[in-house]
Every structure is written in structure tokens, then in C-alpha cells.
Structure 1
Amino acid sequence: MRVAFVSNVVYPWVTGGAEKRIHEIGTRLTNRGHDVTIYGRHFWDGPEEITHEGITLRAVAPEAELYAGERRSITEALDFAVRAVPPLRRRLREDEHDVVVASVFPYFPVLATELASLRTDTPLVTTWHEVWGEYWEEYLGALAPFGKLTEHLTARTPQHPIAISEITADRLAAIGPDRERIDVVPNGIDVGQIRNAPLPDRGYDVLFAGRLVEHKNVDLLLDAFDAVADDRDVTLGVVGDGPERDRLERERDALTHADRVEFLGFLDDYEDVLGQMRAADVFASPSTREGFGLTFAEAMAADCTVIAADHPDSAADEVVGDAGFLVDPTVESLTETLDAALGGRRPPTDPLNRAQQYDWDAVADRAERAYQRAVAGSW
């Protein structure tokens, strides 16, 4: 099978979740004898076409800034989409690929890929990491109708859709394809890498890792931890950065047990994050909006007791199941469960066993079958 991925960002030069997913699935497909090509921006040194870990990287646009302030750049996304059409269309007309896989966000590459594949027999597979819906209001404000319209148009583009979680699949079905046509292939982790990550010089009893934005509800965790710390000699580490950091640090400074809470910022080395998870007893993230929740899977593989928020906008319940604890996103509920977990309470299912289903090898199996169904026209 000859698989083409279309993504403006390319791992490991850009290290976000979507591009890492392509890399992990792509390298496993090449190891199984498939031919894999990524059409992306020219982030690497050297010629426009190189082979990296068995994957052909083909630059169709120069390197560019991805963000305008805190938001992804619309101009960059449009520029990449326009530049990608001619070379991709030429290769598809030459029947070079059996299937093209496009990551949905930031949407325009999907529309460009559909345009490039017109009048060819090459199926388009899309990977939906989230469906934003009303979140566009918070993200774009007055420009939210533009974001919603683009999302709806993308959802209605002829495609073989993959969602990374059941909740994302349900949201996609509400604006586009029939639910039974949407396959679910989750994001993945390297269980072996997590289990062997080096332990840090200093660990914490409770850990949070993620972007410091409002819906992560780190302020609830700070208050719950402070209440539990009245009776327990415990520490809290907060890994990550974001627009809420200054406010959260001020809230930390007002806690009774502020000296037991440390903000570690963004850790450049991924294994440092994994090491912190291995050192922690409890991983707590009361986030109310998670398209998947990769940190929960990572923390389970690190044998943490996971505490997550039970919320209709979060896929945490899908990821964690009964291998962790789900709480209402309130200080009271989080305090009660955090105290019990620190007291030795463990979930019914072994977190390590649960984490195995998210290992990249298992995820690549599911992705491979989905791509083969698209090629066979049996979706």
C-alpha cells in the first residue's frame, strides 16, 4: 500500500500530537513494507525531498511561522494548502499513491487534498482530532462564524473519516458524515519508552501536565491539593505553560501550602515529562475539554493513579475507563478522590493493562486496516 500524508507540520522538527501520530504510524507502516510519503513544509535541512526513518519527506512549501500570537495562523494554513495542490495533484494523476491521509486541523489542507484528488481514484482519509463547535466562540470571538463554516465545509467534503475518540466521532456525525461511516483510531503512546524513562532528581506526589489554559481547570486542582495537604505531607508539580500561568501562580502563592506546589514550566525533553509521571503517585487533570486526553494514557503507562474530570466535552472516560477515577469538575469532588488516592486507593483495573491498548503498535494496526478499507472501497 502506498500511503501519502498531507501535513504542514512534520515531526520531529515540529513536535505536536498530530505530526507525531503521523510519524509513529508512518514508521510502523514502512516497517511492514508499505510505502509512506509526507507532503509538508520544508522544516528540515537539505534538499526538498529526503528519506527520514524510512519515510519520504517531500516539501511542497517553505518553512513558516505556525502561530500568530496564541492562535494558529490562518494565513500560514491557506498558504500551505494553495502550495500543496499542484505537486500533490501531479503525483496523484501519475497514480503514485493508493490513499491520501490528511489531518483536519487547520482544515484547509483537507480541502486542498480533495481538490488535488479530483478525477482520480485515490481515496481521501481524514483524521479528526477534535470538532470544536461552540468552542469557536471562545477561540475566535467575532470571527467564530468563519471557523464554524470552515469546519462544517470540511466535514461535508467527500472523505473516509477517522476520529481519535468516540466523542469526536459523535460530534463529527452531528455536522457531517453518518456515524457508522466514521472509524475510531485513538492516539497512541510508546509504553516501553514510558516504562523506561529516567526518573528525575526530584519528583512529586501529585502531578499535572498540560497546557495552562482555562478549560484545564488547574485552579480546581490547586484548591483541592491545598485542602488535602492540611492532613498529608504531599507535593504537587505542575508541568506546562500557557496564558493562564501568571494567574495560576498568583493563586498558588495565596494557598496555605504554597511551598509544596511548584510550577515546572514547559519541559523541552519529552522523557523528562515521562520521568515525572513515573515518579508521581497520582496524575490529576480536571480538564473539561479533551478530544482524546493523551496524558491520561501516558500516566497510566507510568503506573500513576489517574484522576480526570467526568464531562460531556471530554473523552477522558473513554481513555481511562475503570483504570482511573472520574470526578465532577468541582473542588469538593476532586478533594475527596485525591485524598483517597493519596491514601492508597487504586482503581479496579490495572492502569498498565489499560495503557497497552494505546501502544503505537496497536494503534498502527487499526490505522492500517482503516486505510486498507478505504483503498478497497469497503468503508
Structure 2
Amino acid sequence: MVGTRGVPARYGGFETAVEEVGSRLAERGHRVVVYCRPGDGERPAEYRRMELVHKGAMHRRSLETLSHTGLSVAHLLRHRTDVALVFNAANSPYLPLIRAARIPVATHVDGLEWKRDKWKGTGRRYYRLAESAAVRWSDGLIADAQGIADYYREEFHAPTRLIAYGAPRVAEESDLLAGLGLQPQGYHLLVARFEPENHVHTIVDGYRRSGARLPLIVVGSAPYADAYTARVHDLADDRVRFLGGVWDQRLLDQLYANAFSYLHGHSVGGTNPSLLRAIGAGAPTLAYDVVFNREVLGDSGAYFTTEADVAGVVEAAEADPAGHPARRAATRARAAGYDWDDVADKYELLCRDLADGVQVRARRPLTAQRVGSAPRLTGKAVES
């Protein structure tokens, strides 16, 4: 498993998937190797039966992922494996090296990275081209949301294996909340990296405009985002509390499980682990209105787009405290469709198909067109 920050999972969806899937495959008797970026602490050789290989990275936003994956792939080529799983289409330039070594490789393409505000100009064009390279050079593509699968089918005529993430079942405990001065069902919650496409600014500003009585608890931060973080803080009033990153998983789970509502602003990343954790905790969810979030929440959620919408859905939730138990039950019911054991089954089947030489999909040359200011890359691939 190549291309993530590695395990233990402390960052995002890729890392969570690697830990949850990799540990299950290891428990089933498979040898699982995970490439990790070194942290500030120790570099264990094993975690939850997975073998860990630690490789460095250049600490620049535009080069961090590629530099780490390059070192990881160099090691992988010297230590052969039956199958490689590459996470993030941005790492697609290394796919020809893996395939040249006759190692079957599948790429987890994630969300639409080129839509993220942090990528401008050259970075955005690179991500668009990286998508087409992943289609051309992967033996298989993995999408974690139907919206992403639809995008690759419509944009590239390329089929994917649809494998969503799992939703953890979060225990209903609350003993750690007192340390933060919080009461169960006594606050609204937002958990996100501080990036514009996660709409932290929209939620904080919309909440400030509302007549909400319960405080808004904000968990999260982001590297390389000082200006945006300052903007978000400037939008807040004294009802908003910023906790920064919360690395105590038990405390984070209790924040989810006891929130009166969870506000989710992610818009481009496919199926998001924060949203899945919220439904696993039964947190009634108010979400940004995009196809990925509706796919997870269905009718159990309420949706917003603007700051005025945020104010409206927060006030509506507070105006109906009697409906809170029903909203919790409806949200938790959505988690039943997102089971990590089922996810591991699908990854195991994909890996067996690749290792056994089963043709996962066929390639045809891609052509580039222009739509607006961004290249539109089209092609055709069909499942055998």
C-alpha cells in the first residue's frame, strides 16, 4: 500500500482505509506492507500485523506526496510483491515503473483533487493530467463513491471498482466531555481540515448569523493554511470554540456521539471519513449539498449551500429538540451500509484478481480536448 502518510491513521481517508483494510487482510493471513512517512516519534516495523516501511518526503506542499511515493516505489521495485495498491491519482507518474516490474497495480483515485482551492495553475493542470495517467497505466481503478465512479466513466469512459469506506460504530460514551466543559447534546460540531472546499468558512459564518443557542465546537487545522485559518477565526463570534486538532481518538468519538448536530462542509473528496464517523456515532448531520454527501446521508440529512442555509438548518434543528432522537436513529441506520469487513472483502477480491492475472479492465489510448480553461481528457475502457 503506497502513496499515503501511512499508519497508524491520523490524517485522512486514505490512511484510515489503509489501516482498516490492511489490518483485516493481515489478520486473514496475507502479508501486507505499508509505506509510511516518518513522524516525530518512533518508526515501528509492524503495526496491527502490517509490515511498515518508513520513507522520507520533501516538506513542500507541491512535492511532499510525490517525493515520498518516489522513494517508496524505489524500495518496492527492489522488494517485489504480488500486487501494489497506489493511493492518490497524483502518484500516477510512478505507475509505469511498477508495471514495468510486472507488478499488477490498482490506483485508488480519490476525489477531484484539481478542484481544491489550494491547487492553482500548474498544480491544477498536473492533477487533471494525473487522472488521465492513472486511467492509462493502472491495471485497475478504485473509486470510493458513486459520484467518483460516474466521473471516471463520463470523463474517461473508464470503469472502476466501487469500494466505499467503512463507518466505525462509535460507542455512546461521554465521560471525557466534562474536561471541555461540554454536555451531551449541548453543542454543534464541525470536524474538518481548514481548506476552502471543506467550507469551514461557510459554516462558521453561517452559524454566526444564526440565532443558535448551543455553541459550535470546531475541530481541525491544516498545514500551509495560515491565511485561511485566520479568515475562519475572524468570522467567528464568542459562541464558537476552536479546539485545533484532537488526536485522542476516544475524545473525538465522544464529541461525535454527543453532538446535537454535526455540520459537514466537504465538497470534492468523495466519501469522507469524517461523515462516516458521524453517521456511525448517530450524529444528526447537516451537510453541504453535493452528490457525495447525499449518497451517504440520503433523507436522513439536512443540506446547505450558503451561509444563510447554514443559519436556517441550525435554527431548525434547535427548534425541534423532540425530533432529535429520531434524527439520531435515522443517521445511525445509514451506517449499516458501510461496513469495514465488507470493504476488506472487496479489496481482497480485487487483489486476488490482479495477482491471478484476471483482466480487471482494458486500456485504449486517451485523447485530450479543451473545455473552458482546463483540459478535458477522454478515452474508452471496458471491463472484460
**Do the aligned partners of 2:77 and 2:101 also contact (CA within 8 Å) in 1?**
no
Q: Aligned partners of 2:294 and 2:141: how far apart in 1?
A: 22
Q: Aligned partners of 1:162 and 1:321: how far apart in 2?
A: 23
User: Displacement of 1:261 after TM fit?
Assistant: 1.8
CA distance 1:162–1:198, shift in 2 (3 Å):
farther
Task: Give the secondary structure class of the aligned counterpart of 2:299.
Answer: coil
**Do the aligned partners of 1:187 and 1:292 also contact (CA within 8 Å) in 2?**
yes
Residue of structure 2 aligned with 1:215, choices 189, 197, 216: 197
Aligned to 2:71: 83
**Do the aligned partners of 1:26 and 1:55 also contact (CA within 8 Å) in 2?**
yes
**Do the aligned partners of 1:88 and 1:113 also contact (CA within 8 Å) in 2?**
no
CA distance 1:15–1:330, shift in 2 (3 Å):
closer
Aligned to 1:357: 337
Q: Aligned partners of 1:155 and 1:251: how far apart in 2?
A: 41
Correspondence 1:51 to 2:46: yes
Aligned to 1:255: none
C-alpha RMSD over aligned residues: 2.9
Task: Give the secondary structure class of the aligned counterpart of 1:350.
Answer: helix
Correspondence 1:339 to 2:315: yes
**Do the aligned partners of 1:38 and 1:55 also contact (CA within 8 Å) in 2?**
yes
Task: Give the secondary structure class of the aligned counterpart of 1:299.
Answer: helix
Aligned to 1:25: 21
Residue of structure 1 aligned with 2:135, choices 152, 155, 167: 155
User: Displacement of 1:136 after TM fit?
Assistant: 6.3
CA distance 1:103–1:197, shift in 2 (3 Å):
farther
**Do the aligned partners of 1:131 and 1:172 also contact (CA within 8 Å) in 2?**
no
Task: Give the secondary structure class of the aligned counterpart of 2:100.
Answer: coil
Please list the CA deviations of residues 299-329 of structure 1 after superposition, one character each: whole Å capped at 9, or x if unmatched. 1222211011213xx51111112222223x0
Residue of structure 2 aligned with 1:326, choices 303, 312, 330: 303
Q: Where in structure 2 are the equivalents of 1:74-113 lying within 5 Å?
A: 74=63, 76-92=64-80, 97-107=81-91, 110-113=92-95
Correspondence 1:280 to 2:259: yes
Q: Where in structure 2 are the equivalents of 1:1-379 lying within 5 Å?
A: 5-7=1-3, 9-12=5-8, 15-41=11-37, 45=42, 50-59=45-54, 61=55, 63-65=56-58, 67-68=59-60, 71=61, 73-74=62-63, 76-92=64-80, 97-107=81-91, 110-118=92-100, 120=102, 122-133=103-114, 135=115, 139-176=119-156, 178=158, 181-192=159-170, 194-196=171-173, 198-201=175-178, 202-203=181-182, 204-229=186-211, 233-242=213-222, 243=225, 244-252=228-236, 258-311=237-290, 315-327=292-304, 329-342=305-318, 343-344=320-321, 345=323, 346-347=326-327, 350-376=330-356, 377=358, 379=360
One-letter identity of the residue aligned with 2:46: T
Aligned to 2:368: none
**Do the aligned partners of 2:93 and 2:130 also contact (CA within 8 Å) in 1?**
no
User: Displacement of 1:146 after TM fit?
Assistant: 3.3
TM-score by length of 1: 0.79
- Structure 1, unaligned stretches of length 5 or more? 253-257
One-letter identity of the residue aligned with 1:363: V
TM-score by length of 2: 0.79
Task: Give the secondary structure class of the aligned counterpart of 1:56.
Answer: strand
User: Displacement of 1:354 after TM fit?
Assistant: 1.3
Q: Aligned partners of 1:14 and 1:330: how far apart in 2?
A: 30
One-letter identity of the residue aligned with 1:191: R
Please list the CA deviations of residues 191-223 of structure 1 after superposition, one character each: whole Å capped at 9, or x if unmatched. 14x545754113342111112222233343334
User: Displacement of 1:39 after TM fit?
Assistant: 3.8
Please list the CA deviations of residues 241-265 of structure 1 after superposition, one character each: whole Å capped at 9, or x if unmatched. 243222222222xxxxx33221222
CA distance 1:280–1:99, shift in 2 (3 Å):
same
User: Displacement of 1:278 after TM fit?
Assistant: 1.8
CA distance 1:233–1:131, shift in 2 (3 Å):
closer
- Report which structure shows greater RCO (CA 8 Å, sep ≥6): 2
Task: Give the secondary structure class of the aligned counterpart of 2:32.
Answer: strand
Q: Aligned partners of 1:199 and 1:41: how far apart in 2?
A: 31
One-letter identity of the residue aligned with 2:94: A
Task: Report % sequence identity.
Answer: 23
User: Displacement of 1:24 after TM fit?
Assistant: 1.4
**Do the aligned partners of 1:131 and 1:171 also contact (CA within 8 Å) in 2?**
no
Aligned length: 345
